[in-house]
Chain A
Amino acid sequence: MKHTLPIFSLLLAGGMACAAGLSQLTLSISTPGPDTYSDGQPVQVGETYLLVYVASGSTFQGVRTDGALVDPVNNRIATTATAVTGAKCGFKAIQYPAELYPAGGSWVIVLLDTRDASGAVGGLVAAQGVGESVASASGDSTKLNAVGAGQHGTTLAATTLSPAPADTPAPVIASVKAQGSAVDILVENVTGRALYEVQSTTDLVSGDWRPAVGGTRLRATAADLPVAVQVPAGDRVRFFRVIVPGSN
């Protein structure tokens, strides 16, 4: 009898205790760096990081080239942060209603590669890298939570190509004009939400397609996409095609 009553009461009251938590929770993000792009270059100052909430039972499915989530139902972007000197995510703290991002889910920090053809950040999302997952807290959490900061000795690398939007049409080369080492190509059937790459080869049989010089990370700003690529002088034959990286 001595301990029966407390244990019995505990079972009865177990459901009531959950309500007495915090209405707001906090979370901070940062990475130790140096984080890198797929070409090994350190992340540029101003590059974008995402803090993404992943619903319970789901995994992070990625970001499309236009910045939209592949799985917007189970993945949600909570906030963004930017890279600072040292090729790392600058410290950022957020607070949020506990019910907005429920316990049982998880948080991931995502590094984007938004370099455009000129190398400047701020363009479409060419590639991405995902940090380790951290469990989301409940309103009863008494910890000061952080994402990314605990990854000492590890770095983020944006090596996964971003998929194009689902409705991206297949591009068509409408014209090609060769003059010495310069070749002007006009691509049609394009969208401004995808990245294009002009590839070339001299041997259709081998299928050894390689990115043409000046033909990567191309973004359409109009109904068609004019591209000027460089080829070796004296080429006797050369073929071109256009792809949407990450979807072909």
Chain B
Amino acid sequence: MKRISLMLAALAVAGLVRADIPPITGENTVGFATVVAPGEANTIITVPFEACLGGGASGMLSDLVAVNGLTAHASDPALADQLVVLVEDSGSLYYYYYWLKEGDGWTAITTEKLMPDGSSQSVNPPDADSFAIARGLGFWIKRSAASANPVYLKGQVATAKQSTTIREGLNLIGYGTVTAYSLNDSGIDWSGAYGGTGNTSTSDKIIVVNADGSFTEYFYFVKPIGWPAAYDAINNKWIKSDYTAATGNLPAGRGFWYQRRGTGSFSFKPDGE
């Protein structure tokens, strides 16, 4: 009986000691987000993650967009799923095409840039495994065949705050969050968005491409001086064309067009400074 009591006492002490040892926490947190991207259609996506798994380096296209469940082909890019990324380089826009080649993963496609004088240049995108994708950049996935498989975006959970430059004109961007969100969520900072003169034709606009290929437009509204108090409720919010606040959630990983109508560019910092 005395021996049993001693053993219990020893176990209790051991338990106390163990409780005092802090766990060793891994250096990174990783995850994935699924995006619904209908077959035989184009969907704008954005990667809510920031880095390659383990390495911690900037997230490369080939790592951030998983290939499982997607359609690959051995030789014909037209029969494979594709990624199309719109990038700006030295003031010029470029479209980088990639196709899912069997056994090789995302593979760059040389495209032809037509010039105003009738000449053309070859555009050779960087390899997908060396093409850094900033969190918040939007790009297309073209699904070649009917498929119910979602697209898996994966990577390391961001620790830095998003900062995405929005220039005059159309910008293909997204909010790099890992949860669904509404444009008017109080936690999203839209500082820099232009409210125009109170009407929807002069204010900044967001264009969301729906699953059926149709578009939904939202407009940034800033109540002009002298307008009735009835507009206070939608002041500094995204609204629909009928001047009601935008509602509904955008899923994580869904990108959109941002049409900048204000003068100059600004940095979209949804998480604040």
Which A residue sits closest to B99, measured CB to CB? A91
Measured between beta carbons, the chain B residues less than 8 angstroms from A9 are 197-199, 201-202
A96 to B77, CA, bound (A): 21
Binds A, one of B17-25, B55-63, B89-97: B89-97
Measured between beta carbons, the chain A residues less than 8 angstroms from B254 are none
Measured between beta carbons, the chain A residues less than 8 angstroms from B257 are 142
B236 at the interface (CB under 8 A from A): no
* Chain B at the A interface: SS class: strand
- Contact status B169-A23, CB under 8 Å: yes
Size of interface on A: residues with Cβ below 8 Å to B: 42
In the A-B complex, the 8 residue pairs with the closest CB atoms: A30-B78, A9-B199, A96-B114, A91-B78, A24-B93, A26-B95, A91-B77, A93-B111
A166 at the interface (CB under 8 A from B): no
List A residues 90-116 near B (Cβ within 8 Å). Answer: 90-97, 99-100
Which B residue sits closest to A29, measured CB to CB? B78
A90 to B112, CA, bound (A): 14
B67 at the interface (CB under 8 A from A): no
Most buried by B among A5, A84, A93: A93
Measured between beta carbons, the chain B residues less than 8 angstroms from A30 are 77-78
Size of interface on B: residues with Cβ below 8 Å to A: 44
Which one, B140, B199, B227, contacts A13 given CB within 8 A? B199
A95 to B109, CA, bound (A): 13
A28 to B144, CA, bound (A): 13
Which one, A14, A88, A93, A100, contacts B201 given CB within 8 A? A14
- Contact status A24-B95, CB under 8 Å: yes
Do A96 and B169 form a contact, CB below 8 Å, given A5-B227, A142-B257?
A: no
Measured between beta carbons, the chain A residues less than 8 angstroms from B230 are 2
Do A10 and B95 form a contact, CB below 8 Å, given A79-B112, A143-B42, A149-B78?
A: no
Q: Which B residues are within 8 Å of any A CB, using their own CB?
A: 42, 75-78, 84, 92-95, 97, 99, 109, 111-116, 120, 123, 140, 142, 168-170, 196-202, 207, 209, 215, 227-228, 230, 243, 257, 259-261
- Contact status B78-A94, CB under 8 Å: no
A100 to B112, CA, bound (A): 14
Q: Chain B nearest CB: distance from A50 CB in Å?
A: 13
A221 to B77, CA, bound (A): 39
- Contact status B113-A96, CB under 8 Å: yes
Chain A 25-42 per-residue mask, 1 if CB under 8 angstroms from chain B, else 0? 010101010000000000
A85 at the interface (CB under 8 A from B): yes
Which A residue sits closest to B197, measured CB to CB? A9
A5 to B199, CA, bound (A): 8
A172 to B100, CA, bound (A): 57
List A residues 13-62 near B (Cβ within 8 Å). Answer: 13-14, 16-17, 20-24, 26, 28, 30, 32
Measured between beta carbons, the chain A residues less than 8 angstroms from B42 are 143-144
Measured between beta carbons, the chain B residues less than 8 angstroms from A86 are 76
A32 to B144, CA, bound (A): 11
List A residues 68-99 near B (Cβ within 8 Å). Answer: 78-79, 84-86, 88, 90-97, 99
A93 to B124, CA, bound (A): 12
Which A residue sits closest to B202, measured CB to CB? A13
A3 at the interface (CB under 8 A from B): yes
- Contact status A5-B198, CB under 8 Å: yes
A140 at the interface (CB under 8 A from B): yes
